Structure 1
Amino acid sequence: MSYNHDESLNYIFVQLTHLYFLRTHSLLDKIGLYPGQPPLLFKLEKNNGLSQKELADALSVKPSTITMMIKRMEKNELIRREQDEKDQRVSRIFITNLGLEKTKQLRELNEELEKEYTADFTQEEKILLRRFFIQMRDNLKVGYNMNKKGRCDLDEKG
């Protein structure tokens, strides 16, 4: 059997991730968010008052990236920044009521998107698909170059 690129799992997976990326961006645009912002909002919803460094580490982004994200999100009143009471050199980041409202909208969008991409799937097929995705993720983790700490960055974030 000869290799057919257009029918390969790799090609279909690339198409799938590209379409997921485009669809996600269009849904985020509806509620006025950028792609990097949902993980930050969810992280603050769970652990409000993290420092910029803690956020950068938790999201596996550079400090300069988190600084730009915070400035934009602060301007849009999704978060607020306060100096740490004990160490004035540290800024603590807090989610605002508007930010909390956006997390609620994000959950609704995620449910809508999941219904969209699993339309016509049985419950059993959804369970199998989830198991396959987890196995694929775990398989790729094994092949992924481990960072200096000897672990994959996804180990803590799922």
Structure 2
Amino acid sequence: MENKDVDSLGFLLAEIIRLHHARTFNLFAQLGLYRGQPPILFVLWKEDGKTQKEIADELRLKPSTITVTLKRMEKAGLLERRSDPQDLRITRVYLTEKGYNLQKEVEKALKTFEDDCFKGFTLEEKVLLRRFFIQIRDNLIRANGGEC
């Protein structure tokens, strides 16, 4: 690969995404969390007792995609599945006390991550970068025909 390619905006964006995943993976691994688990926790911290389909819909995933992650989280004692009292055909996902107690630690890890990313940036630079990210996201959504 020529040096010119390594300095391209596309390459830099891909490198940032790769490093983003690596850093968040390391921070969450220190808490005993695996890839895919924090987004599910965020959904349930916001509203506990959702169905697997509701969780998947909110995360823009197929319910089958999160099945293994939910099983792993249940085995780790972070959540439990219970039948809906009004409709026994429906299973709802609830956080356990252990799952609730992780919220402060996850928020602390995210603060560390954000500090790592934006060290040395002024407020104005962060605002401008956010605007650029929104524009890139919106451009890609339009390029994909409005789908994410």
- The correspondence of residues 20-39 of structure 1 with structure 2, limited to 5 A, is 20-39=20-39
Whether 1:110 aligns to 2:110 is yes
Matched residue, 2:131: 131
What root-mean-square deviation, in Å, do the aligned CA atoms of Structure 1 and Structure 2 show?
A: 1.5
Rounded to whole Å, the distance in 2 between the matches of 1:7 and 1:69 is: 37
List per-residue Cα deviations over 1:64-119 (Å, max 9, x = no partner).
22221211111111111110112211111111221122222111111111111111
Letter of the structure 2 residue corresponding to residue 42 of structure 1: F
**1-side partners of 2:117 and 2:38: how far apart?**
20
**Equivalences, count:** 146
Shift of 1:60: 2.0
CA contact (8 A) 1:38 1:103 kept: no
Residue 93 of structure 1 corresponds to 93
Identity of matched residues, %:
42
1:107-155 deviation digits (Å, cap 9, x = unpaired): 1111111111111111111111111111111111111144xxxxx34xx
Correspondences of 1:32-51 after superposition (within 5 Å): 32-51=32-51
Q: Which amino acid aligns with 1:98?
A: K
TM-score, normalising length: structure 2: 0.92
Secondary structure of the corresponding residue to residue 18 of structure 2: helix
The residue aligned with 1:58 is: 58
Give unpaired runs (5+ residues) of structure 1: 147-151, 154-158
Which residue identity is paired with 1:99?
G
Superposed CA offset, 1:20-71 (max 9, x none): 1111111111000012011111101111111112112222222222221211
For residues 100 and 128 of structure 1, what CA distance do their matches in structure 2 show?
Answer: 35
